[in-house]
Structure 1
């Protein structure tokens, strides 16, 4: 394996040369093409004064420019800060201020809304793909200058490569710090277990900032897998590209498979080239997995991962038993165990429920600038708390049964009640707000807010939903609001979120 992410593109170009690497919309790129673009982008970033150790935020939808920018940041020894495109300008401002980003690479549709961020943060440059608005630097113009690329940096595998933000239980996101080794290792071991190679063609609409998409990108660069990247998920277009490019693998979250099965285009889709499919982001019911296998006529393998481990922590090996309902076993050189929820040093017997914990080179370095949260999540001996409750069978396969904390998993995205409560509490008519989760057939779970209004105040459900949309990404906003007199609390006044459902008055849960 390479020592750091910045070395990977040149090595890929040497190994795979003019083989087709990436297809995005109407453009195709060989490995040589990608390396040339990455070198140009690295030179352009260096000319702006960005260098080793500087943080660069990557805030854009899926595109070839996103992938080029990702590797270019690493090429000059800077730190990658990939963020979800659904975040709002206030959320972006918090992230770049928290990690001290020097620059933001974004797309034209996002750039206009974040130009003001430069006034309150360390951001010196905002670089925009496409038609760059006033106040930003054009990405196309930058790379057209062909500025000299600095010598390859000498970075240790243990050095910081990435700060990936995940929603915070305290109302603000936390930046999980990943070493170069962790990111490279996860991509390598994922491809090894799945036997992904230069003979495979992968179609993906997973968001590039997500760790699941990241391991696919790494698989492309390290193993020569051809990647057909979609800007966003459209079931008909995905089905069309599986046939057009003779894809051998499709990766997605459960809702993608559900939409594809329900698409009018599915009946006529040619899926004969597929050899296997993978699903992650949230657990999928066994009955649904069986329906996918029957419809797609290939095996469906479940996987599990999180931001704090740079990608996958477990999956099923291609040449091994595929246990539906299980997230599989630990990836090579890593360990999983089920710990007593009250004593992390105690391992539970096989078959008994406890907290899933992870150990190995994929585990994060800690949360950026937050030693307290790091100590809560990482044990002194290196074992990571995942917050997921599960069991382990005699083969070492894990079955997730619940989440230890109150996280809401909606459409593959993590949503934390405290973050929504923080926004609702800022509404002038809200006296108290508590957020719980409800099951949802399409998204897995949705957020529901229980609100106590200030005396004499009139407010509607739509008023509060609109208020949340101003400060929160769409996937974080509550899908339902119920007005209540009070909420369940402990004797110390702490809201008992798991008891909120007892207040429900809506019959169509």
Structure 2
């Protein structure tokens, strides 16, 4: 394993040279080019007094410049702060200021409003799209002069490499601090489980700023793969890339697969080159997973991870046993347990729902400047409390039930939205579904389902309710169903239940 994340691209340049590493916006970059250009940018940053321990933010859609800047920052021993693309300028500015970033790379349209939010002169703004008032051009950092040796000496695997901010569902988001070891270990073990090699071509629209997309990018660079990187997900463009580049891997979240299955053009594209796909971010119905495998002709490997782990915590091995609906088993060198909800400090027996907890070298170093929050998340024995409800079977496979905060309690009964969503997605008229709890004076909460219908199919809500009654206990059947054109999602495609819940609560408030 390398000493630092920045060394990944240098080693791969030595091994794979002029082989295509990245395809983005119709242009290809070789491993040698990525290594050379990232060293150029690192040298220019050093001239601007960015060095070991300095924090630099990235705030743009997927592009080759993002990848180059990422490795440049880490080659210096500096710390990368990948910002969620969907953050508003004030939200992004909060993270930049909170982690004391000295510079921000990004798209010009993102940086211009940010300029007025940050203290002038303290933070350098460097645009991928060209210069502006008080904004430098990324091209100016691509110097051709005498370049020093990178990565710089003295970077330890236990040094801070990344500060990744959580989604911040309540209050301000928190910056999870991740070491080089955490990212390197996650990259190596994910690659090992999924058998990623230089013979693979991967298509992805997952944001590189998201931990899932970040591991996809790092594993592609580390293993000598070709990464066909999309700035946004669009079903036809993804299918075209799989066909044109003979992709062996597609990686996405459940909603991306739902859109692919719902695309009338799916059968028009040759996707026979695919040898496996991965899915994570949210639970997915086993019915839909089997449909994906049948339509795409490749196994679908479910995985699970979080910002505080710098990527994956669990997944399935490509050549090992798999169970649909399970997030698999822990990555090598990690331990997982299900903490009892009934007995303090107890472990739940097989099949019983409790909190999923993870321990090992990929767990975060803590939340930046938040010792109290760190103590709440990581106990004295080093177990990370994930906030996910899960159970483990006799063979050690883990099944996520839902997020603890998303559980709906109706008349004293616990309802897990993910369970209802899986059943709803089995209905032949349903493309996507999301379930949230809405306030009710009598029962506390009631389950409401939001449904996106399949293309060209008429949705009969009464028929869907009856379908649910056949598969769910009476108290679990959604009391309300609303058909919508689409569902709110994060930049990575994860469905935002909280926005649906907030909309319901807001609508019920007196004007």
TM tier relative to shorter chain: 0.7 to 0.9
1:77 aligns with 2:77: yes
* 1:167, distance to aligned residue in structure 2 (A): 2.2
Q: Distance in 2 between matches of 1:43 and 1:256?
A: 38
Alignment partner of 1:374 is 2:397: no
Write the distance in 1 (CA, Å) between the matches of 2:145 and 2:213.
29
Residue 267 of structure 2 corresponds to which residue in structure 1? 267
Deviations 1:398-449 (A, max 9, x none): 0111222249999xxxxxx9xxxxxxxxxxxxxxxx9999544459xxxxxx
Question: How far 1:147 moved relative to its partner?
Answer: 6.3
Q: Are 2:61 and 1:61 aligned?
A: yes
CA contact (8 A) 1:76 1:150 kept: no
Partner of 1:208: 208
Q: Distance in 1 between matches of 2:16 and 2:228?
A: 17
User: Residue 43 of structure 1 contacts residue 150 of structure 1 at CA under 8 Å; is this kept in 2?
Assistant: no
- Asked whether the 8 Å contact 2:41–2:143 carries over to 1, the reply is no
Structure 1 residues 381 and 141, CA, compared in 2 at 3 Å: closer, same or farther? same
Identify if the C-alpha distance between structure 1 residues 242 and 277 changes in structure 2 by more than 3 Å, giving closer, same or farther. same
**Preserved CA contact (<8 Å) 1:43 1:147:** no
Partner of 2:135: 136
Q: Who is 2:20 aligned against?
A: 20
2: CA distance, partners of 1:111 / 1:387: 34
Q: CA separation of 1:315/1:287 partners in 2, compared to 1, >3 Å: closer, same or farther? A: same
Alignment check: 8 A CA contact 1:103 1:126 kept: yes
Query: SS where residue 317 of structure 1 aligns?
Result: coil
Q: In the alignment, what sits opposite 1:126?
A: 125
Task: Identify unmatched segments of 5+ residues in structure 2.
Answer: 408-416, 422-435, 437-443, 454-494
The change in CA–CA distance for 1:438 and 1:358 in structure 2 (over 3 A counts) is farther
Q: CA deviation at 1:6?
A: 2.0
**In structure 1, what is the Cα distance between the partners aligned to 2:331 and 2:354?**
20
- Contact kept, 8 Å, 1:57 with 1:82, in 2: the verdict is yes
- Structure 1 residues 365-374 or 147-156, which shifts more? 147-156
Tell me the residue number matched to 1:327.
327
- Measured against aligned partners, the alpha-carbon deviations of 1:445-499 in whole angstroms (never above 9, x if no partner) come to xxxxxxxxxxxxxxxxxxxxxxxxxxxxx9675573444469xxxxxxxxxxxxx
Structure 1 equivalent of residue 404 of structure 2:
404
8 Å CA contact 1:75–1:153 kept in 2: the answer is: no
- 2:244 corresponds in structure 1 to 244
Provide the C-alpha distance between the structure 2 equivalents of 1:437 and 1:2, rounded to a whole number of angstroms.
49
C-alpha distance in structure 2 between counterparts of 1:18 and 1:71, whole Å: 18
**CA deviation profile, 1:245-287 (whole Å, cap 9, x unmatched):** 0000100011111111111221211011111111111010111
Task: Please show how residues 391-430 of structure 1 align to structure 2 within 5 Å.
Answer: 391-406=391-406
**Do structure 1's residue 231 and structure 2's residue 254 form an aligned pair?**
no
The C-alpha deviation readout for 1:218-248, integer Å capped at 9, x for no partner, is 1112111111101111100100010100000
Task: Give per-residue Cα distances to partners, 1:279-326, cap 9 Å, x unaligned.
Answer: 111010111111111111211111100000010011110111120010
Taking structure 1 as reference, are residues 220 and 291 closer, same or farther at Cα in structure 2, changes over 3 Å only? same
TM-score (norm 1): 0.81
SS at match of 2:118: helix
- Report the equivalent of 2:441: none
User: In the alignment, is residue 288 of structure 1 matched against residue 311 of structure 2?
Assistant: no
Which digits, 9 at most, give the CA deviation of each residue in 1:70-92, with x for residues without a partner?
11000111100001111001101
Do 1:340 and 1:348's aligned partners in 2 also have CA atoms closer than 8 Å? yes
1:38-79 CA-partner distances (Å, limit 9, x unpaired)? 101101111111111011011110000000101100011110
Q: CA deviation at 1:340?
A: 1.3
1:186-220: per-residue Cα shift (whole Å, max 9, x none)? 01100100001111110000011011111111111
Q: 1:44 to 1:400 in 2, by over 3 A?
A: same
TM-score by length of 2: 0.81
Residue from 480, 484, 489 that aligns with 2:503: 480
Q: What's the offset of the Cα at 1:134?
A: 1.6
Distance 1:344 1:146, change over 3 A: farther
SS of equivalent to 1:12: helix
CA distance in 2, matches of 1:190, 1:358: 16
Q: After TM superposition, list the pairs within 5 Å mapping 1:25-44 onto structure 2.
A: 25-44=25-44
36 and 353 in structure 1: CA distance in 2 versus 1, 3 angstrom threshold = same
Name 2:491's counterpart in structure 1: none
Shift of 1:148: 3.4
C-alpha distance in 2, partners of 1:137/1:346?
Answer: 55
**Distance in 1 (alpha carbons) for counterparts of 2:146 and 2:507:** 59
In 2, the alpha carbon distance for the partners of 1:93 and 1:175 equals: 13
